[in-house]
Amino acid sequence: MNRGIPRPSAFADLLKFRTPTVDRTTARLARAHTIADLRAIAKRKPPVVASRRSTACLRAV
């Protein structure tokens, strides 16, 4: 048996690169393969961004 470096054509189908998308929603939906994946995406909540005004109001209460 002679070992060597494999040819790129032998594993080219395993290395399929996609161009990154700006729209994160489209990217998430493209990765969903089942209904369960879609449900998991729907259950995720976006992070809450706290501004200075909202934290000041919370401290005053």
- Tally of CA atoms within 13 A in the half-sphere of 49 that contains its CB: 1
Phi, psi of 8, rounded to the nearest 5 degrees:
-60, -30
Q: Is the pLDDT of residue 61 over 60?
A: no
Whole-structure pTM over 0.75, yes or no? no
Give the whole-angstrom CA distance, residue 37 versus residue 53: 36
pLDDT exceeds 60 at position 28: yes
Q: Is residue 34 a contact partner of residue 41, using CB atoms and an 8 Å limit?
A: no
At residue 12, what is the residue type? A
What pLDDT score was predicted for residue 10? 79
pLDDT at 35 over 90: yes
Residue 55, pLDDT score = 56
CB-based contacts of 30, cutoff 8 Å, min separation 6: 21
